[in-house]
Chain A
Amino acid sequence: QKEVEQNSGPLSVPEGAIASLNCTYSDRGSQSFFWYRQYSGKSPELIMFIYSNGDKEDGRFTAQLNKASQYVSLLIRDSQPSDSATYLCASSGNTPLVFGKGTRLSVIA
Protein backbone atom coordinates (compact mmCIF):
# COMPACT_ATOMS: atom_id res chain seq x y z
CA GLN A 1 0.00 0.00 0.00
CA LYS A 2 1.57 3.25 -1.14
CA GLU A 3 1.08 5.92 1.50
CA VAL A 4 1.92 9.56 2.03
CA GLU A 5 1.78 10.76 5.62
CA GLN A 6 1.31 14.32 6.82
CA ASN A 7 0.57 15.84 10.18
CA SER A 8 -3.00 17.12 9.89
CA GLY A 9 -2.27 20.18 12.04
CA PRO A 10 -3.40 22.82 12.44
CA LEU A 11 0.02 24.40 12.27
CA SER A 12 -0.16 27.96 13.51
CA VAL A 13 2.60 30.46 12.78
CA PRO A 14 2.74 34.23 13.23
CA GLU A 15 2.80 36.48 10.20
CA GLY A 16 6.33 36.90 8.88
CA ALA A 17 7.60 33.62 10.34
CA ILE A 18 8.78 30.52 8.49
CA ALA A 19 6.20 27.74 8.16
CA SER A 20 7.63 24.24 7.87
CA LEU A 21 5.43 21.49 6.45
CA ASN A 22 6.56 17.88 6.42
CA CYS A 23 5.65 14.74 4.57
CA THR A 24 6.89 11.13 4.48
CA TYR A 25 6.18 8.52 1.83
CA SER A 26 6.30 4.75 1.84
CA ASP A 27 6.98 3.89 -1.81
CA ARG A 28 10.73 3.89 -2.53
CA GLY A 29 9.87 3.84 -6.22
CA SER A 30 8.42 7.34 -5.99
CA GLN A 31 10.28 9.71 -8.27
CA SER A 32 8.38 12.99 -8.25
CA PHE A 33 6.92 14.93 -5.37
CA PHE A 34 4.39 17.71 -5.40
CA TRP A 35 3.03 20.30 -3.03
CA TYR A 36 -0.49 21.56 -3.60
CA ARG A 37 -2.28 24.33 -1.73
CA GLN A 38 -6.01 23.98 -1.17
CA TYR A 39 -8.15 26.77 0.17
CA SER A 40 -11.35 25.76 1.91
CA GLY A 41 -14.00 24.82 -0.65
CA LYS A 42 -11.58 25.14 -3.57
CA SER A 43 -9.61 22.68 -5.66
CA PRO A 44 -5.89 21.93 -5.17
CA GLU A 45 -3.46 24.37 -6.75
CA LEU A 46 0.07 23.25 -7.64
CA ILE A 47 2.77 25.19 -5.78
CA MET A 48 5.94 23.23 -6.45
CA PHE A 49 7.32 19.91 -7.60
CA ILE A 50 10.70 18.33 -6.88
CA TYR A 51 12.36 15.15 -8.08
CA SER A 52 16.03 15.53 -7.12
CA ASN A 53 17.51 15.29 -3.65
CA GLY A 54 18.19 18.66 -2.10
CA ASP A 55 16.44 22.00 -2.13
CA LYS A 56 14.41 23.76 -4.78
CA GLU A 57 13.47 27.40 -4.27
CA ASP A 58 10.68 29.40 -5.91
CA GLY A 59 10.02 32.81 -4.41
CA ARG A 60 9.00 32.41 -0.76
CA PHE A 61 8.69 28.64 -1.15
CA THR A 62 11.43 26.02 -0.77
CA ALA A 63 10.84 22.32 -1.30
CA GLN A 64 13.29 19.85 0.20
CA LEU A 65 13.65 16.19 -0.74
CA ASN A 66 15.60 13.45 1.00
CA LYS A 67 15.01 10.15 -0.79
CA ALA A 68 17.14 8.15 1.65
CA SER A 69 14.84 9.20 4.49
CA GLN A 70 11.74 9.23 2.25
CA TYR A 71 11.02 12.73 3.44
CA VAL A 72 9.74 15.83 1.69
CA SER A 73 9.21 19.25 3.18
CA LEU A 74 7.93 22.66 2.19
CA LEU A 75 9.18 25.85 3.78
CA ILE A 76 7.22 29.06 3.42
CA ARG A 77 9.23 32.16 4.29
CA ASP A 78 7.66 35.43 5.41
CA SER A 79 4.32 33.70 5.93
CA GLN A 80 1.26 35.78 5.14
CA PRO A 81 -2.35 35.37 6.30
CA SER A 82 -3.18 34.58 2.66
CA ASP A 83 -1.01 31.45 2.99
CA SER A 84 -3.56 30.01 5.41
CA ALA A 85 -4.80 26.87 3.67
CA THR A 86 -4.39 23.10 3.61
CA TYR A 87 -1.16 21.93 2.02
CA LEU A 88 -1.25 18.57 0.28
CA CYS A 89 1.86 16.51 -0.36
CA ALA A 90 1.76 14.00 -3.23
CA SER A 91 4.15 11.45 -4.65
CA SER A 92 4.37 9.73 -8.02
CA GLY A 93 6.44 6.95 -9.51
CA ASN A 94 5.17 4.98 -12.47
CA THR A 95 1.82 5.26 -10.79
CA PRO A 96 -0.84 7.91 -10.36
CA LEU A 97 -0.39 10.58 -7.71
CA VAL A 98 -0.78 9.45 -4.13
CA PHE A 99 -1.86 12.28 -1.84
CA GLY A 100 -1.49 12.76 1.87
CA LYS A 101 -4.43 14.03 3.92
CA GLY A 102 -2.92 17.50 4.06
CA THR A 103 -1.66 19.84 6.77
CA ARG A 104 -3.80 22.79 7.72
CA LEU A 105 -1.71 25.95 8.06
CA SER A 106 -2.96 29.01 9.88
CA VAL A 107 -0.94 32.23 9.66
CA ILE A 108 -1.87 34.59 12.45
CA ALA A 109 -1.72 38.34 11.71
Chain B
Amino acid sequence: GAGVSQTPSNKVTEKGKYVELRCDPISGHTALYWYRQSLGQGPEFLIYFQGTGAADDSGLPNDRFFAVRPEGSVSTLKIQRTERGDSAVYLCASSHQGAGGYYNEQFFGPGTRLTVL
Protein backbone atom coordinates (compact mmCIF):
# COMPACT_ATOMS: atom_id res chain seq x y z
CA GLY B 1 0.00 0.00 0.00
CA ALA B 2 0.96 3.64 -0.27
CA GLY B 3 3.21 5.04 2.40
CA VAL B 4 3.33 8.49 3.93
CA SER B 5 3.79 11.17 1.31
CA GLN B 6 5.06 14.71 1.77
CA THR B 7 5.12 17.69 -0.52
CA PRO B 8 7.12 19.51 -1.59
CA SER B 9 10.28 17.42 -1.35
CA ASN B 10 12.37 20.59 -1.33
CA LYS B 11 11.45 24.14 -0.45
CA VAL B 12 13.75 27.14 -0.70
CA THR B 13 12.43 30.39 0.70
CA GLU B 14 13.69 33.73 1.87
CA LYS B 15 13.91 34.88 5.44
CA GLY B 16 10.62 36.35 6.59
CA LYS B 17 8.43 34.43 4.15
CA TYR B 18 5.56 32.06 4.96
CA VAL B 19 5.71 28.36 4.02
CA GLU B 20 3.33 25.42 4.12
CA LEU B 21 4.43 21.80 4.19
CA ARG B 22 1.96 19.03 3.46
CA CYS B 23 1.71 15.47 4.76
CA ASP B 24 -0.59 12.70 3.54
CA PRO B 25 -0.52 9.80 6.04
CA ILE B 26 -1.01 6.09 5.47
CA SER B 27 -4.70 5.39 4.91
CA GLY B 28 -6.40 4.40 8.15
CA HIS B 29 -3.73 5.79 10.45
CA THR B 30 -5.40 8.00 13.03
CA ALA B 31 -2.22 9.40 14.54
CA LEU B 32 0.03 11.85 12.69
CA TYR B 33 3.29 13.36 13.86
CA TRP B 34 5.57 16.15 12.70
CA TYR B 35 9.28 16.10 13.42
CA ARG B 36 12.20 18.30 12.47
CA GLN B 37 15.64 16.85 11.80
CA SER B 38 18.81 18.88 11.57
CA LEU B 39 22.07 17.52 10.22
CA GLY B 40 23.69 15.04 12.58
CA GLN B 41 20.71 14.97 14.91
CA GLY B 42 17.83 12.61 15.49
CA PRO B 43 14.29 13.69 14.64
CA GLU B 44 12.92 16.25 17.10
CA PHE B 45 9.22 16.04 17.95
CA LEU B 46 7.06 19.02 17.01
CA ILE B 47 3.37 18.09 17.21
CA TYR B 48 1.09 15.06 17.34
CA PHE B 49 -2.48 14.74 16.06
CA GLN B 50 -5.00 12.13 17.07
CA GLY B 51 -7.73 12.50 14.49
CA THR B 52 -8.40 16.17 13.83
CA GLY B 53 -7.13 17.51 17.12
CA ALA B 54 -3.62 18.37 18.20
CA ALA B 55 -3.12 16.03 21.17
CA ASP B 56 0.37 17.35 21.96
CA ASP B 57 1.97 20.46 20.50
CA SER B 58 4.65 20.78 23.16
CA GLY B 59 7.43 20.47 20.61
CA LEU B 60 6.52 23.50 18.52
CA PRO B 61 9.44 25.89 19.08
CA ASN B 62 7.42 29.13 19.07
CA ASP B 63 4.22 30.69 17.82
CA ARG B 64 5.54 31.01 14.28
CA PHE B 65 4.85 27.31 13.88
CA PHE B 66 1.33 25.99 13.49
CA ALA B 67 -0.19 22.78 12.14
CA VAL B 68 -3.67 21.68 11.17
CA ARG B 69 -5.41 18.45 10.23
CA PRO B 70 -8.96 19.58 9.50
CA GLU B 71 -10.42 16.29 8.25
CA GLY B 72 -8.29 13.86 10.21
CA SER B 73 -6.18 12.84 7.25
CA VAL B 74 -3.90 15.31 5.45
CA SER B 75 -1.97 17.70 7.66
CA THR B 76 -0.28 21.00 6.90
CA LEU B 77 2.60 22.46 8.89
CA LYS B 78 2.71 26.23 8.58
CA ILE B 79 5.70 28.39 9.40
CA GLN B 80 5.36 32.16 9.49
CA ARG B 81 8.18 34.70 9.21
CA THR B 82 10.73 32.01 8.48
CA GLU B 83 14.21 32.33 9.92
CA ARG B 84 17.49 30.79 8.77
CA GLY B 85 17.45 28.58 11.87
CA ASP B 86 14.26 26.94 10.58
CA SER B 87 16.28 25.24 7.84
CA ALA B 88 16.01 21.49 8.38
CA VAL B 89 14.28 18.39 7.06
CA TYR B 90 10.67 18.29 8.23
CA LEU B 91 9.47 14.73 8.64
CA CYS B 92 5.92 13.51 8.95
CA ALA B 93 5.00 10.12 10.39
CA SER B 94 1.76 8.25 10.98
CA SER B 95 0.67 5.32 13.09
CA HIS B 96 -2.39 3.33 14.06
CA GLN B 97 -2.28 4.39 17.69
CA GLY B 98 -1.34 7.55 19.45
CA ALA B 99 1.62 8.19 21.70
CA GLY B 100 -0.18 6.84 24.76
CA GLY B 101 -0.13 3.25 23.62
CA TYR B 102 2.52 0.61 24.11
CA TYR B 103 2.69 0.18 20.35
CA ASN B 104 3.79 3.29 18.61
CA GLU B 105 5.17 2.03 15.33
CA GLN B 106 5.51 5.19 13.37
CA PHE B 107 6.10 5.16 9.63
CA PHE B 108 7.90 8.14 8.20
CA GLY B 109 7.44 10.01 4.97
CA PRO B 110 10.36 11.08 2.78
CA GLY B 111 10.51 14.53 4.36
CA THR B 112 10.59 18.09 3.08
CA ARG B 113 13.97 19.77 3.03
CA LEU B 114 13.39 23.41 3.93
CA THR B 115 16.12 25.94 3.22
CA VAL B 116 15.68 29.51 4.42
CA LEU B 117 18.08 31.91 2.73
Contact = CB atoms under 8 A, between A and B. Distances in A.
B108 A44 contact: yes
A51 B56 CA distance: 23
B108 A96 contact: no
Contact of B111 (A4, A43, A96): A43
Q: How large is the interface on B (under 10, 10 to 19, 20 to 34, 35 or more residues)?
A: 20 to 34
Contacts of A44: 43, 91, 108
Q: How large is the interface on A (under 10, 10 to 19, 20 to 34, 35 or more residues)?
A: 20 to 34
Nearest to A6: B42
Contacts of A34: 104-106
A51 B102 contact: yes
Contacts of A92: 99, 104
Chain B CB within 10 Å — which of A45, A90, A100 has the most? A90
B99 A42 contact: no
Given A43-B91, A44-B91, A98-B45, A31 B40 contact: no
Contacts of A46: 105-107
Which 4 pairs from chain A and chain B are nearest by CB?
A99-B42, A43-B108, A96-B45, A96-B99
